[in-house]
Chains A and B, each alone.
Chain A
Amino acid sequence: MQRRQLVLYGAAGAGFLGLTLFVGWWRVDGPGAPEPKGQRPLPLSAMEFRLTDHEENEVGPGNLIGRPTMVFFGFTYCPDVCPTTLSDISGWLEELGDEASEMNVVFITVDPERDTVEAMAEYVGYFHPVIRGWTGPEDQIARAAEGFRASFERVPTEGGGYTMNHTASVFLFDAEGELVTMIDYHEPREFAVPKIRRALTEDVEGAT
């Protein structure tokens, strides 16, 4: 009797252990694993926001479907990271040559208070002509950031002004609006340009 109970407990214990291990695997490595922090952006078709480009056109994620797309967040009062990203992107686009004109390249401001349509127009004018600048009401910018799983935060500075912390990665989507990959801030050109080429060719090969 006692022995039988022990066996039963043993079997139940082993079963429980197995289940625990399985649940553990499911949660940590398996399909139930949480997206890593700074999760994967939604497909463009699943995003919803309305913004205005630097030429006063009403734009949204739907405008980006049909061509490969590169998107990044920033602000024009950013002295270091944003002009560096914009000039890096301009360099990548130069290297792509004619292929660059087959892409949407969009710089979305996280500082709409200062980055009006006019400010965006002036700023993007200094970089590669393919780059578009998008701005709009703060709630729409927040919705856009949410779709890309990007974050931004206003931080006061000593001089009485403010700066913005923000996601500095570049997002790459194929022509169907599916995320291809991300280019981390300051990624060397020898890595970035092949990634962009992948986004450019993915639709041609019909892979999504």
Chain B
Amino acid sequence: MVKKLRYTNALAVLLMVAGLSAPALAGSEDVVVENAWSRASIGVNRPGAAYMTVRNTGEDAVTLTGLATPLAMMPEIHESKTNSDGVSSMVPAGEITIEPGQSVALEPGGLHAMLMKLQEPMTEGETFPLTLTFSNGGEVTVEVPILGIAARGPEG
């Protein structure tokens, strides 16, 4: 399943909904989110994770600064790392800059959208909206499909 959302379209929808005035959009009109997916959760106590590819098709670098979703009170971009002893750990990834023409992959075992404090269980077959916020005030919202707990990728 491929989800593509033009940055401008997403923003237009968002602005319509929120009735906001247009923020400055210097050079980041073309952020495309592809192959978003997540795994179902057991209840709401365990954090969830979502994965996707964020592509910058514009002329200027964009910096991904944060996430928002009605599904989780504390969504945050994390990075899993495995050291030379084979010990894995997870840390907040901070801001992620994507150069023009480049993309960043959020994928298992690396960067992921960590969904902490779930407001409701993540149910297989459903979707949830996830908004990516950028340093210039721009936003992209993508509908993330929820696959099975044992899913290995966007195809399941």
Q: Give the distance in Å from the alpha carbon of A186 to the alpha carbon of B108 in the complex.
A: 9
How many residues from A make CB contacts under 8 Å with B? 34
Contact digits for A175-186, partner B, Cβ 8 Å, 1 yes 0 no = 000000010111
Kindly state whether residue B87 has any CB partner on chain A within 8 Å. yes
- Measured between beta carbons, the chain A residues less than 8 angstroms from B87 are 38, 151, 165-168
Kindly state whether residue A37 has any CB partner on chain B within 8 Å. yes
Q: Give the distance in Å from the alpha carbon of A77 to the alpha carbon of B45 in the complex.
A: 8
Q: Give the distance in Å from the alpha carbon of A182 to the alpha carbon of B84 in the complex.
A: 13
Kindly state whether residue A49 has any CB partner on chain B within 8 Å. no
Kindly state whether residue B47 has any CB partner on chain A within 8 Å. yes
Contact (Cβ within 8 A) A80 B86? no
- Measured between beta carbons, the chain B residues less than 8 angstroms from A83 are 39, 49, 108, 149-150
Contact (Cβ within 8 A) A163 B90? yes
Q: Give the distance in Å from the alpha carbon of A76 to the alpha carbon of B47 in the complex.
A: 10
- Measured between beta carbons, the chain A residues less than 8 angstroms from B78 are 80
Q: Give the distance in Å from the alpha carbon of A157 to the alpha carbon of B78 in the complex.
A: 12
Contact (Cβ within 8 A) B109 A186? yes
Q: Give the distance in Å from the alpha carbon of A81 to the alpha carbon of B48 in the complex.
A: 12
Kindly state whether residue A138 has any CB partner on chain B within 8 Å. no
Contact (Cβ within 8 A) A77 B85? no
Given the contacts A79-B48, A80-B108, A90 and B90 also touching, CB distance less than 8 Å: no
Residue in A80, A88, A123 with the greatest tally of chain B CB atoms within 10 Å: A80
How many residues from B make CB contacts under 8 Å with A? 31
The number of residue pairs between A and B whose CB atoms lie closer than 8 Å in the complex comes to: 91
Q: Which of chain A's residues has its CB closest to B114's CB?
A: A79
Q: Give the distance in Å from the alpha carbon of A2 to the alpha carbon of B39 in the complex.
A: 83
Kindly state whether residue A16 has any CB partner on chain B within 8 Å. no
Contact (Cβ within 8 A) B88 A185? yes
Contact digits for A85-129, partner B, Cβ 8 Å, 1 yes 0 no = 011101100000000000000000000000000000011001100
Can you pick out 30 interface pairs between chain A and chain B where the beta carbons lie within 8 Å of each other?
A: A37-B85, A38-B84, A38-B87, A76-B42, A77-B45, A79-B49, A80-B78, A80-B109, A81-B82, A81-B109, A83-B150, A84-B108, A87-B150, A87-B151, A90-B150, A123-B42, A126-B148, A126-B149, A127-B149, A127-B150, A158-B74, A158-B92, A159-B74, A163-B90, A166-B87, A167-B86, A167-B88, A168-B82, A185-B109, A186-B82
List residues of B whose CB falls within 8 A of some A CB. Answer: 39, 42, 45-49, 74, 78, 80, 82, 84-90, 92, 108-109, 112, 114-117, 148-152
